[in-house]
């Protein structure tokens, strides 16, 4: 484990584990409502099964080769949420520092409790408590689009990566590779998100479960049927939400809450994602052609 670059603001005692917290009022690049919402969300979804983590992880990490991340890698899991990607990567790397500003750190601590090469810390991107150029590999999966200044957050993460190290990033896509039908559905869902995300937590959760069941599941079932009867030609992949055709109900509920319960959400085209990474000093950027869109990896050369 790395040494902290400064003293924690406080320590949280949780199930015999002490979690250092570096979150303070001086954190600027953070949307408090969004972080609180995630804290609520992730404390409800801390129990992903090994299979769920492996199936979803294989898609996000399809472009993370052995050269990028291996047994000598010291890793930063930025915005770790429940810690599922730390759990996914733990047996492949040397050590993982998993950080998140929300109370999701309690879930992450619980999920990773049996892994002696993962440490969970409460901190946001503005207060990453490690020296610059500490990490061989950093990942921010589904994080930066929930931060007010996405580009600055990426830059602040890149500072912590060693020269020659890598960053994996997943940003919500702006449907730049989709047709008008998708864009229309997205506009409608944005309106619904604005309403749902302002609801009290319990009502928000019930509403999102309702959306998962009555909106997500019909599309998912349709995609499953099309895949079964017309496996060739990829027609089923054109069905909205077909990404979830092989995902569990737990993951679908979780993602519905993630999509509709979060106040701050930004979207990026593939081009904008590459521009952000390059402007933050990343080179050799590879954007995966696979779902979920867009996830990419880049290398810090200077």
**Strand 295-300 vs strand 74-78: parallel, antiparallel, or unpaired?**
unpaired
Kindly list the distances between the CA atom of residue 189 and the CA atoms of 133, 139, 171, 176, 185, in Å, as whole numbers in the listed order: 40, 28, 18, 16, 6
CB of 155 to ligand SAM, least distance (A): 13
CB of residue 43 to ligand SAM, shortest distance in Å: 11
Q: What is the DSSP letter of 173?
A: B
Residue closer to ligand SAM by CB (options 28, 177) is: 28
CA distance 101 to 22: 8
196 interacts with ligand SAM by CB under 6 A: no
Q: Find tokens 């898609």 and name the residue.
A: 59
Whole-angstrom Cα Rg for the chain: 19
Q: Pattern of binders to ligand SAM over 88-117, x per CB under 6 A? A: ------------xxx-x-------------
Give the contact letters, 25-64, x = binds to ligand SAM (CB under 6 A), - = no: ----xx---xx--x---x----------------------
Q: Which two tokens stand for residue 84?
A: 């599922």
State the Cα–Cα distance between residues 115 and 90, nearest whole angstrom. Answer: 7
* CB neighbourhood size of 186 (10 A): 16
Among 8, 79, 165, 240, binds ligand SAM (CB under 6 A): 79
258 binds ligand SAM (CB under 6 A): yes
Among 280, 255, 251, which residue's Cα sits nearest to residue 265? 255
Per CB under 6 A, which region of 79-87, 183-191, 215-223, 269-277 contacts ligand SAM? 79-87
The least CB distance from residue 257 to ligand SAM, in Å, is: 10
Binding mask 1-30 for ligand SAM (x = CB under 6 A): ----------------------------xx
Comparing CB distances to ligand SAM, the nearer of 52 and 222 is 52
Q: Is 218 helix (H, G, I), strand (E, B) or coil?
A: helix
CA neighbor of 255 nearest in space, from 174, 142, 138, 112: 142
* Residue span binding ligand SAM (CB under 6 A) among the ranges 77-85, 177-185, 192-200, 290-298: 77-85
Q: Give the CB-nearest residue to ligand SAM.
A: 81
What part of residues 125-154 is at the interface with ligand SAM (CB under 6 A)?
Answer: 125, 141-143, 146-147
Rounded to the nearest whole angstrom, what is the least distance from the CB of residue 149 to ligand SAM in the complex? 9
What Å distances lie between residue 137 and 50, 89, 291, CA to CA?
23, 11, 21
Return the structure tokens found at 172. Answer: 């919500």
When asked if residue 266 is in the footprint of ligand SAM (CB under 6 A), the reply is: no
CB 243 within 8 A of CB 292: yes
How far apart (Å, rounded) are the C-alpha atoms in residues 103 and 81?
9
Binding footprint of ligand SAM on the chain (CB under 6 A): 29-30, 34-35, 38, 42, 78-82, 84-85, 100-102, 104, 124-125, 141-143, 146-147, 258
């Amino acid at each position: 484990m790395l040494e902290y670059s400064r003293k924690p603001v406080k320590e949280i005692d949780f199930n015999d584990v002490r979690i250092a917290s570096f979150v303070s009022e001086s954190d600027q690049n953070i949307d408090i409502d969004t972080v609180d919402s995630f804290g609520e969300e992730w404390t409800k979804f801390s129990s992903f099964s090994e299979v769920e983590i492996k199936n979803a992880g294989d898609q996000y990490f399809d472009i993370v080769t052995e050269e990028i991340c291996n047994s000598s890698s010291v890793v930063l899991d930025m915005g770790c949420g429940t810690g599922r990607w730390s759990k996914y990567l733990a047996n492949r790397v040397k050590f993982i520092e998993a950080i998140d500003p929300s109370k999701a750190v309690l879930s992450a601590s619980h999920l990773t409790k049996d892994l002696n090469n993962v440490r969970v810390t409460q901190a946001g991107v503005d207060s990453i408590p490690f020296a610059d150029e500490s990490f061989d590999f950093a990942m921010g999966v589904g994080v930066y689009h929930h931060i007010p200044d996405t580009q600055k957050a990426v830059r602040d993460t890149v500072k912590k990566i060693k020269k020659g190290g890598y960053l994996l990033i997943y940003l919500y896509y702006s449907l730049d590779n989709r047709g008008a039908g998708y864009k229309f559905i997205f506009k409608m869902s944005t309106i619904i998100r604005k309403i749902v995300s302002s609801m009290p937590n319990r009502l928000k959760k019930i509403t999102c479960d309702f959306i998962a069941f009555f909106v997500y599941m019909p599309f998912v079932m349709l995609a499953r049927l099309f895949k079964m009867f017309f496996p060739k030609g990829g027609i089923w992949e054109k069905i909205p939400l077909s990404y979830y055709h092989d995902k569990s109900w737990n993951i679908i509920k979780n993602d519905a809450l993630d999509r509709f319960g979060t106040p701050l959400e930004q979207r990026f085209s593939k081009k904008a994602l590459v521009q952000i990474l390059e402007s933050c000093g990343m080179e050799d950027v590879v954007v995966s052609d696979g779902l979920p869109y867009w996830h990419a990896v880049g290398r810090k050369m200077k």
